[in-house]
Amino acid sequence: MKRQNFFVIALVTWFTTGLSANAQTDTIRMQDKRLITSALKPGLNQYLVYYQTPKKQKNLTFWFWLRDIKIDSRNGEKVFTITQHWYGSDTANYRSVYSVNKFADFAPVYHSETVRNKLSAYNWGAGKITGADTVAKNTKKDFSLDFSMPNFNWNLDIETFEMLPLAEGKAFAIYFYDAGLDPPAYVIYKVTGSEILTLLNNEKVDCWKLSTEGDHGGSHYSETYWISKKDREFLKEEDSFNGGYRYKIKLLGSATDIVQRFVNQ
């Protein structure tokens, strides 16, 4: 998912993670093929995203967030396509994201995002990412960055987490890159325990808690994700940074596909 400016370059290195000596750390690199891509389920996932600043006791900021996962074919190769839409109360804040990844190992192939009506589009390979010069109005058409090795798309971190071999005491060093920004780097995520979430109709779901934390710009941040053990489903997220909090909650699968209603008008 796209980080805010205070958040996007807070990359964690091996020597600052504070991992315990007993933690089992898996390095998640493209060539290791440790992601369980068959576990990523196609479908429309919808989330309520809201921000809380404790000093503003009568105010919350809301987003409605959609991520539509499909399996398709590109140049004869099986791929995932993931389309994101972010809706808020101000049309200027709307953003859309479209990503293509290989089905076999989740290697990025293409990525585009439109933020504040500015389009950034990239062709993404194992050794290099470049601006897609055939895409009209691409503000990043001249962008180019060489890679020392293949990496994963940080915009798709939630989908990546759902494919991890999560287990008690494990930690993961994932080689992530956020398109158009700083070079790729390892980010450390640790399984910090389990928790049972209560869903609708009092359904109890046992989840792994996956966490990361660090410091950036003089501020400490932390993120925790709840991933169901049985279905590998991202259900909840809580983040803290700059004295505030961000929450993400997955909505019912029966939630209306509002994108289609916009398209049909």
pLDDT tens, 141-160? 999 999 999 999 999 999 99
Of 185 and 9, the one with more pLDDT: 185
Local confidence band at 2 (pLDDT 50, 70, 90 cut-offs): very low
* DSSP category for residue 217: T
Tokens of 253: 């699968």
Tokens of 94: 């709307």
Tokens of 166: 């999560």
Phi first, then psi: give them for residue 92, nearest 5 degrees.
Answer: -65, -20
Our count of domains for the chain comes to: 1
Phi first, then psi: give them for residue 207, nearest 5 degrees.
Answer: -130, 150
Strands 152-153 and 144-146: unpaired
Query: What pLDDT is stored for residue 265 in this prediction?
Result: 59
Write down the residue that tokens 């839409």 correspond to. Answer: 85
List C-alpha distances in Å: 53 to 72, 179, 243, 244, 245.
41, 29, 7, 5, 6
The arithmetic mean of pLDDT across residues 85-108, rounded, is: 95
Q: Hey, how many other C-beta atoms are within 10 angstroms of the C-beta on 16?
A: 11
Q: Looking at the predicted structure, is the pLDDT value of residue 9 above 90?
A: no
Q: Distance (Å, rounded) from C-alpha 213 to C-alpha 224? A: 9
Rounded percentage of the chain residues whose pLDDT exceeds 70: 91
Q: Looking at the predicted structure, is the pLDDT value of residue 257 above 90?
A: no
Contact in structure between 210 and 161 (CB atoms under 8 Å): yes
Q: By three-state DSSP, how is residue 136 classified?
A: coil
pLDDT tens-digit series, residues 164-217 = 999 999 999 999 999 999 899 999 999 999 999 999 889 999 999 999 998 877
* DSSP category for residue 117: T
Nearest Cα to 187, choosing from 167, 209, 206, 211? 211
Q: Which residues pair with 115 in a beta bridge?
A: 95, 118
Query: What pLDDT is stored for residue 16 in this prediction?
Result: 38
pLDDT tens-digit series, residues 16-58 = 344 444 457 899 999 989 999 999 999 999 999 999 999 999 9
The arithmetic mean of pLDDT across residues 63-69, rounded, is: 96
Q: Which residues pair with 146 in a beta bridge?
A: 128
Of 5 and 190, the one with more pLDDT: 190
Q: Distance (Å, rounded) from C-alpha 73 to C-alpha 197? A: 36
Query: What pLDDT is stored for residue 192 in this prediction?
Result: 97
The arithmetic mean of pLDDT across residues 59-79, rounded, is: 95
Residue 43 sits in which domain range? Answer: 5-263
pLDDT tens-digit series, residues 217-241 = 788 999 999 999 999 999 999 999 9
Query: What pLDDT is stored for residue 7 in this prediction?
Result: 36
Q: Return left, alpha or beta for 186; rule: phi > 0 is left, psi -120 to 50 is alpha, else beta.
A: beta
Question: Which segments of 7-76 are extended strands (E)?
Answer: 24-28, 43-52, 60-74
Local confidence band at 72 (pLDDT 50, 70, 90 cut-offs): very high
Q: Looking at the predicted structure, is the pLDDT value of residue 114 above 50?
A: yes
CA dihedral (203, 208, 209, 210) in degrees, to 10, reads -140
Local confidence band at 100 (pLDDT 50, 70, 90 cut-offs): very high
Query: What pLDDT is stored for residue 63 in this prediction?
Result: 94
